[in-house]
Structure 1
């Protein structure tokens, strides 16, 4: 790869730059991050797009305006777009909303009264279950109806082979038959499909508690709370006795244990062999989100009953497609229950499949380069006087747990998190890497994790106490290491000396 000089990226620019389908957005200073969270200083005039589940895509805004005119929708209604008519039924059944008149479109449309608590509930629900309409679908619709005059140019795999290619690559990576894999329009929709499937199965056997083991991704926790009124959270994956004690009393009522390998953002790995043995003792299925590990870094086939992966991350590598996958382990008793899990997910839009099928062909090689760079960057940062704490797969506290499942010594992982001795705004503002939400990109991407994922907790003493109790430093910087020249990456960090 050619030498890279990292340059500032303007606030509001898409990441990747000049890509209308980008799922990340540049927020280059800590002041702008805080303004974004609090809606201050006209920040939303700069930031017009972002992670699609959290921020409405510009094309979806245009579609909503177009449909309002086309169907003469009264101004008191908000036009909310969904991935399918099945998703409309899900929202309608959940919130008892029904369109006051017929809207005939080949996608999901629901009308919700403006300026109501119901609207915010609906939007949050869509965010959590990941049934957003594709920006590529919106682009095609707007172009065909004369609202926009050009299409974003990108490389796509042929329609006839795209889905087969994608499933075959995932099947080979996970060592699973392709019929055990289902695609979803986002990673969160895959999570939703699994949890809905578990809930329908547990209704038949009276298991109605879901256990969350470890500090999981924000929306995974939200979906758990929504669908399992009885849920138990164990944030500390090293406190084995707490989980063992709980299962002695409630093990026969637990529907599943859900965990991430490794966790986000502290990159900690559970003792997976111990956890699997515990699950087997109580006949509990183990659900593993393998997004951060990737199937190329670890072998979890002997342990997981169900895998979930956000293909938006390392599988895509370019942060320009939302997609997820459910992988049922052929060794699990659930392998014959595909319909119970797969039926709840929406089918991704074909052009999204074409795009990610093109990008996933570089998945394995991309991970090799990212692993190499991450290992060398950790070695570099561990020697720097401005670094207070660094979290990575080989951190001493859980190094043995990760090594027990890694495919080989080079499988270091692509994520690290750092706490600094220096003031956080000084560190964050000075570095010229891409800065915004998401991870798994071929370009190095920084995220002020707690500010963007748990800003509400920063605002209260109770929230801050929870963060502190589980080593979630407010000023933690999550680094998704890219494929650039490692010497250039280190050179950028030299600015902090």
Structure 2
């Protein structure tokens, strides 16, 4: 059984995706189907039946197969038998990975970095398009692979699946051209070499590289690159219908055909314009919400204050890293229970952090007395001061909204920055920037919606006192690492984000009202019901809603399992998709620290739901069906 492409506004539910397959069933999907509660538990325990079924996954947790293929080429060409590697989009990122390994894995030999340059084949050279692509391999002993994977997961400055696919395609075409050139040289002049189909050049591979290890260019890589299996016909299919042209293609064929042949993706030379469009779109949305009593509201933030990153976690990691360039000895504060990797970033990069996991108003007074009051005075050491406070608005998965007004007052009084992750609130619903020094967001979520591209953004507040220092740090530290094809897709997907958010807000509120009134439901976590006053303080006037995410727990001991297994919508990691997507969040995010998470109200059997664009009746009917499956109610 295969998944079908989702039409979110349809009255028909999508068929359930098989375990381990992409969600949605498109190239570069960023979620994966884990359709039962046990599948999620077995995924965390690395059960063979789940591991063997996985052909996709969230890119920071599951290294995409195309990225693994490119890694295998690098390891074969540049590595030693005792070594493994990860690939990065820049040398600076590779060096930061090396520093992370040297800090957390001290038993192995020196970590080394290899530069891998892949040149465009002749058939791909055109004005404005990239002529070469560089990736950087950090090599380490195989025993340190788990530590390197932590850097990949936490920092988020990853090589995307589209970048890896592009590199593999170039390697393949270059090998084909070299083979054809060699054959032409050896063939008699009277023999005409067959020409390949101009739309479907065959893709099996070799490489042109430059490397700090001085490995000879053109070494044999053909065995490490699998053929894309594209057609090699004389037929010109300029006018062939899509259905006929794609008949019989495998997944890789279809990807190249749709994205390049039929213009779903633009020419790569359009990428700089796509990135400008993204930055302007974000800046205008943020500026539009500034209160009229702020000076220069219409020019409150410009595209020059917006920075793009390859993932949302990269934006968080780099916000923390940039803040530390101003005050490298100071610790951070994590206020509220955040997404798991956000806390790990504060703990593992830099001097460490203080954690206030409940994130409620009462915790602010405790925070001031326990930590902040000790940071004032002439004799206070630099390492005792605070660099920044990070919080989510609202938080994941309990949807709590922090009192940003009060936290901002403390920041001004005690001299630290405020960094807010507004992914769940999103640009349309909440007004955040005027209360923060830095606002970060995962563009992979509802801003994109299609669940087929990763990205993140960071916005600086020009009216906060640390702005000049942060801006100067950005001038020297920032790298644009969003791959060009990802930027083009992100720009395309996000053109309708305001309209989609409005519909999803309405769907989510109706669904939460339905669930909250149901006798089998113990609690619904949703900004309308949780720390409501704080959310309303920052909610944009007018039709803005409460977002598209909620979490739910049930009275019945086994209610979560029965509900989740019966829920007739897609189930997997991620959120902010145009289609409804659910997961047993605590199992996926905190399986090996369940008792610790429970201290902060994160119950083991919590189900998190990201609501999509489906017809409301379809949503209500599907959730009623799942509720009907709960049979062991607690008396």
Aligned to 1:245: 369
CA distance in 1, matches of 2:351, 2:466: 23
2:387 — aligned with what?
255
Separation (CA, whole Å) in 1 of partners of 2:113 and 2:548: 49
Three-state SS of the structure 2 residue aligned to 1:42 is helix
State the SS of the aligned residue for 2:396.
coil
- Report SS of the residue matched to 1:8: coil
Task: Name the structure 2 match of 1:166.
Answer: 278
Question: In the alignment, which residue of structure 2 is the partner of 1:476?
Answer: 606
Residues 264-303 of structure 1 mapped to structure 2, 5 A cutoff: 264-303=396-435
Within 5 Å, which residues of 2 pair with 1:383-422?
383-395=517-529, 397-408=530-541, 409-422=543-556
Q: Is contact 1:187–1:308 with CA below 8 Å preserved after alignment?
A: yes
In the alignment, which residue of structure 1 is the partner of 2:582? Answer: 446
CA contact (8 A) 1:257 1:285 kept: yes
SS of residue in 1 equivalent to 2:433: coil
What CA distance in whole angstroms lies between the structure 2 residues aligned with 1:469 and 1:134? 36
Contact 1:186 1:322 in 2 (8 A): yes
Q: Does 1:33 align with 2:163?
A: no
Are residues 41 and 347 of structure 1, via their aligned partners in 2, closer, same or farther at CA, if it must alter by over 3 Å?
Answer: closer
Give the corresponding residue for 1:350: 484
Distance 1:101 1:244 in 2: 47
State how far apart, in whole Å, the 1-side matches of 2:499 and 2:34 are: 29
- State the match for 1:461 in structure 2: none
Q: Does the CA contact (< 8 Å) of 2:433 and 2:439 recur in 1?
A: no
| 1:100 Cα offset (Å) | 8.1
Contact kept? 1:34, 1:451, Cα under 8 Å: yes
Q: Superposed, which structure 2 residues align to 1:199-348 within 5 Å?
A: 199-203=324-328, 208-238=330-360, 239=362, 240-252=364-376, 253-336=385-468, 337-341=470-474, 343-348=477-482
RMSD: 1.9
Matched with 2:265 is 156
Once residues 390 and 102 of structure 1 are traced to their aligned partners in structure 2, the CA distance between those partners, rounded to angstroms, is 50
Q: Which has the higher contact order (CA 8 A, sep 6+)?
A: 1
Whole-Å separation in 1 of the counterparts to 2:116 and 2:413: 52
Q: Does the residue aligned with 1:109 lie in a helix, a strand or coil?
A: strand
Deviations along 1:70-110, one digit per CA (max 9) or x if unpaired, are x2633322132112222112222333544387755511112
Gapped regions of structure 1 (runs ≥ 5): 459-463
Distance in 2 separating the partners of 1:355 and 1:5: 26
Query: Is 1:24–1:51's contact at 8 Å kept on the other side of the alignment?
Result: yes
Question: 95-104 or 251-260: which moved more?
Answer: 95-104
The equivalent of 1:78 in structure 2 is: 84
Aligned equivalents of 1:468 and 1:237: distance in 2? 15
Secondary structure of 1:63 counterpart: helix
Residue number in structure 2 paired with 1:4 = 12
Q: Encode CA deviations 1:348-369: one digit per residue, 9 max, x unaligned.
A: 1111000000011111111101
Q: Give the alignment of 1:124-135 within 5 angstroms.
A: 124-135=150-161
Q: 1:167 touches 1:181 (CA, 8 Å); kept in 2?
A: yes
Structure 1 length-normalised TM: 0.93
Does the 8 Å CA contact 2:100/2:151 hold for their aligned counterparts? no
CA separation of 1:378/1:347 partners in 2, compared to 1, >3 Å: closer, same or farther? same
Shift of 1:284: 1.8
- Supply the distance in 2 between the matched residues of 1:488 and 1:91 (Cα, whole angstroms): 46
- CA–CA distance in structure 2, aligned partners of residues 305 and 93 of structure 1: 28
Aligned equivalents of 1:452 and 1:257: distance in 2? 26
> Shift of residue 42 of structure 1?
2.2
Task: Determine if contact 2:78/2:114 at 8 Å carries over to the other structure.
Answer: no
2:572 alignment counterpart: 436
Separation in structure 2 between the aligned mates of residue 380 and residue 101 of structure 1, nearest angstrom: 56
How many residues align structurally? 483
Is the Cα–Cα contact under 8 Å of residues 371 and 412 in structure 1 kept in the other structure?
A: yes
Secondary structure of the structure 1 residue equivalent to 2:435: coil
Normalised to the residue count of structure 2, the TM-score between the two structures is: 0.73
Relative to structure 1, the CA distance from residue 244 to residue 98 in structure 2 (aligned partners, 3 Å threshold; closer, same or farther) is closer
The yes-or-no answer on 1:457 pairing with 2:457 is no
Q: State the match for 1:65 in structure 2.
A: 72
Which 10-residue stretch deviates more, 329-338 or 431-440? 329-338
Aligned-partner Cα distance in 2 for 1:455–1:51? 17
Which of 1 and 2 has greater Rg?
A: 2
Pair 1:371-2:495 in alignment: no
2:207 is matched with none
1:52 aligns with 2:59: yes
Retained in 2: the 8 A contact 1:433–1:446? yes
Cα pair 1:419 1:476 within 8 Å, conserved: yes
- Kindly state the Cα deviation for residue 288 of structure 1 after the two structures are TM-superposed: 0.5
- 2:392 touches 2:422 (CA, 8 Å); kept in 1? yes
Displacement of 1:160: 5.1
